[in-house]
Structure 1
Amino acid sequence: MLLFRPSFSSLLSLANPFLLSSISRPLAMATSHAFAGNPLKSCLKPESLTPFLLSSEENDSSNPDRFLILPIRKGRPLARTDDSNPPRWKLGWLDSTRLKEVAVKGDEFVYLGSDDKTEGCQCHYWSIDLSEGNREWGEGMAFVELRTLMVATDWADADSMGQLAIAGHARALLEWHGLTKFCGSCGTKMVPTSAGRRKQCTNDSCKKRIYPRVDPVVIMLVIDKENDRALLSRQSRFVPRMWSCLAGFIEPGESLEEAVRRETLEETGIEVGEVIYHSSQPWPVGPSSMPCQLMVGFFAYAKSLDIHVDKKELEDAQWHSREEVKKAITFTEYEKAQKSTAVKVDQACKGVGQGPHGFSFNDYALESGEMAPMFIPGPFAIAHHLISTWVNQDVPVTGESGTSLKRMNSLSNL
């Protein structure tokens, strides 16, 4: 279900000093986490808009509202780029009249939200999965991997971050529809209702309703306060030299804090005491079996220090000093990687070269041209903000124990 989120103008006016300071200089300032801060808002009954969507014609004076549609093919949103330097990508919205060329039904569209009505006209945004076709929708546009768009996004530009949030929401919603074709109770086919915001079983004796779900994932930076160190880990799927935070799924009947302690103990043998909330981030670029994840970030204080890595879960885990991590963040060229990936998206939209134009971690290099000896994920990931917050400032301590301590401030609390 699409919930109202503050506009980017209000986000900027409430610019959060915590999140803005969490990125090492000289990086530009982020206005929100990647995929957060969706600028669209939901109307009360979007299903009432479907008939107008299907019957809309150009220059229809009886219905001044506009209907724009974002096609997605195999999880890739349609994108285009502008003529700025470096180029900025934008979503490839199509007018609803364009899709009359394709045999689609009303229940194949999913409602994403609407913008504020201006000059008597309101724009309603929809998405549709067109994975089965190979039709090109216009010169200068291409279907681009969402992860590539994520890295190519200028995290200091509010409009670009809003485009990314919309794209993430659209992909997660369509992926959920693709995974829920049959009823989990009786096995009968399910059909979309409420403009794609829920599904219902077609069996009259069942009629089970389901809604899009979110898989919560805890992600934590474990801190050795006494020795001023942080615990970073590597998975076998990571590219060489990349280190990040521990993370894991929540088990039934488990609190977020309990999940942090259990996952840390299982994967590294480290016992954790105090657990402190940092912020949360939608993550629609996870595996296709779990397309709608919510990353919930924490700081966790270690009670033991001896590491015993579970090799089935991790390749390695090590304590890293504050200075070591700070150096890795300072010299890793995140902004350069963002700009080079933006150029690759521009090339894809212009049809330059063959195959996908994705992000390569080889774009993370030192100014000398040498590869960074160690780096952490870029500012598009909550792991970056957890780690850089610890590097650049003292982490405030909260109170599961009931003590009166400072609370972490974040955009997700707005």
Structure 2
Amino acid sequence: MRAMLTLLSSSSSSSSLVLFSKKLFLLPKPSLTLSFFSRNTTTMSINLQSHAFAGNPIRSKTPKSTDPFSPNSALDSLKTQLLDNTLLQQPPSPDFKVLPFRKGRPLASSIPGEMTPSWHLGWISLPDCRNFLEKSGVQLSEDSLVYLGSRSEDDVVYWAIDVSSEAGLVPELGSKQFCFVELRTLMVATDWADERAMGELAIAGNARALLEWHNLSRFCGVCGAKTVPMEAGRRKQCSNVLCNKRIYPRVDPVVIMLVIDRENDRALLSRQSRFVPRMWSCLAGFIEPGESLEEAVRRETWEETGIEVGDVIYHSSQPWPVGPSSMPCQLMVGFFAYAKSLEINVDKEELEDAQWHSREDVKRALTFAEYKKAQRTAAEKVEQMCKGVEKGQSLAADFNVESGELATMFIPGPFAIAHHLISSWVHQDVAPNGVQVRTDQSSSSISNL
């Protein structure tokens, strides 16, 4: 059994913040509903079109091979531009934008906002990328760039590059108020009601996953020979012609589940020793070979807590590229799981604790956790870093009750699929057929998942 190494799976690419009355609303199936209470206990809901790191705006579909924006066509154009210095001095078509990464951190910048600063990705032009690297004594080649996607309407193709070994770039880019920022920090700093910001977060997540996978797959796992990038970095191939193995980006599937006690209206939440104080979340675990998703939910729940699970209902899924570099991208698959037994027997090697929590207790945790305050703090931290004045501030300290005292418990923020599993249960009664019927009349929206 492997316990999940990264449990705060993220969520929420959202487009609008709406204040509802006590009226019932039917939301379309692809949407997720986040509900929480403001100070006057009015329920607020966000209609989430997709989770964080999903909904990448530059890779919704892959162009045909003959299209100038396809990976192979863009790579041919890239080779031409790198070989011909005169082309780099003229506006190319399509235009190329490059996103540098250093040790898993994307380049970012920040601009002041009316309420809080707003971060954005630090895209640089192909000529600038080439000049920056040449100052460090590095020759830019097509094999060092990874295709991310395109916007044909803007005549732009996007690439990523890993510059971890080029320490000289840090002061060079810092002088232009760019900074390499942890993706997790950007995740917390992102306003989940800002569609543009959520799109950039998804792009950065996809780029990090691809670059980390490239770093892990430098050699063939069959014969040990070096691998070479193919299809503009979207896959790799063994350089040994006798082997010639094709290697594709790695995805690690993980089940994450909210275990529910129907009879007593409770949910099972757990803590790991590495969690920040007072944080509780869902159970989760990796899927094993030859195992279905439902089987993984039941096995992990039994192994970690001794609870036997019956019905398993799918909720939603989320790519999670902010785990350890050894797992470039986890795919979190979220479920509601209904308990058949109630006695908890915690596996102390996997969990610090697991407890049943009533709907009201969890609702209070959602009420008190000041997620927007944490988002503002992280956004300000990014701004400070881009100005070269990084502060060592703990974001966990911002999850406080409104009186200024510490909340007794809180759950992962709206960037996490765990948050949406828990929030959906708190405000809606999830029937065995997967249809959510709201029973809490103080809340305001209903969705079929």
Q: Which residue of 2 aligns with 1:167?
A: 204
Q: TM-score, normalised by structure 1?
A: 0.89
Q: Which residue of 2 aligns with 1:366?
A: 401
1:181–1:190 contact (8 Å) kept in structure 2: yes
Q: Which residue of 2 aligns with 1:77?
A: 106
Match of 2:431 among 388, 396, 400: 396
Verify: 1:48 aligned to 2:73, yes or no. Answer: yes
Q: Which residue of 2 aligns with 1:60?
A: 90
For 2:448 and 2:235, the matched residues in 1 are separated by: 33
Distance 1:340 1:17, change over 3 A: farther
For 1:264 and 1:242, the matched residues in 2 are separated by: 19
Q: Which residue of 2 aligns with 1:386?
A: 421
Distance 1:110 1:240, change over 3 A: same
Match of 1:227 among 251, 257, 264: 264
Verify: 1:36 aligned to 2:66, yes or no. Answer: no
Q: How many residues align?
A: 392
1:145–1:358 contact (8 Å) kept in structure 2: no
Query: Which runs of structure 2 are paired with 1:169-184 in the superposition (5 Å)?
Result: 169-184=206-221
Q: Which residue of 2 aligns with 1:92?
A: 122
The CA deviation at 1:154 is 0.3
Matched letter for residue 53 of structure 2:
F
- Choose 24-33 or 70-79, whichever is displaced more: 24-33
CA RMSD of aligned residues (A): 2.4
For 2:64 and 2:224, the matched residues in 1 are separated by: 31
Q: TM-score, normalised by structure 2?
A: 0.82
Q: Which residue of 2 aligns with 1:240?
A: 277
Matched letter for residue 194 of structure 2:
D
For 2:346 and 2:188, the matched residues in 1 are separated by: 30
Look up the SS of the partner of 2:153 in the other structure.
Answer: coil
Look up the SS of the partner of 2:221 in the other structure.
Answer: coil
Gaps of 5+ in 2: 1-12, 19-25, 39-43, 66-70, 82-86, 134-138, 438-445
For 2:284 and 2:393, the matched residues in 1 are separated by: 25
Q: Which residue of 2 aligns with 1:132?
A: 165
Match of 1:21 among 33, 36, 39: 33
1:235–1:316 contact (8 Å) kept in structure 2: yes
Matched letter for residue 230 of structure 1:
A
The CA deviation at 1:83 is 2.1
Distance 1:210 1:409, change over 3 A: farther
The CA deviation at 1:53 is 2.4
Distance 1:359 1:284, change over 3 A: farther
Q: Which residue of 2 aligns with 1:217?
A: 254
Structure scoring higher RCO (CA < 8 A, sep ≥ 6) equals 2
Distance 1:60 1:396, change over 3 A: farther
2:270–2:282 contact (8 Å) kept in structure 1: yes
The CA deviation at 1:366 is 1.4
Look up the SS of the partner of 1:166 in the other structure.
Answer: helix
Distance 1:293 1:358, change over 3 A: farther
Query: Which runs of structure 2 are paired with 1:299-338 in the superposition (5 Å)?
Result: 299-338=336-375
- Choose between structure 1 and 2: higher strand proportion: 2
Look up the SS of the partner of 1:324 in the other structure.
Answer: helix
The CA deviation at 1:35 is 0.5
Verify: 1:375 aligned to 2:415, yes or no. Answer: no
For 1:197 and 1:359, the matched residues in 2 are separated by: 37
The CA deviation at 1:250 is 0.5
Q: Which residue of 2 aligns with 1:145?
A: 182
The CA deviation at 1:409 is 4.1
- Structure 1 residues 165-197: Cα deviation after superposition (integer angstroms, max 9, x where no partner): 000000000000000111011010111110000
Query: Which runs of structure 2 are paired with 1:100-139 in the superposition (5 Å)?
Result: 100-101=130-131, 102=133, 103-118=139-154, 122-134=155-167, 135=169, 136-137=172-173, 138-139=175-176
For 1:52 and 1:316, the matched residues in 2 are separated by: 56
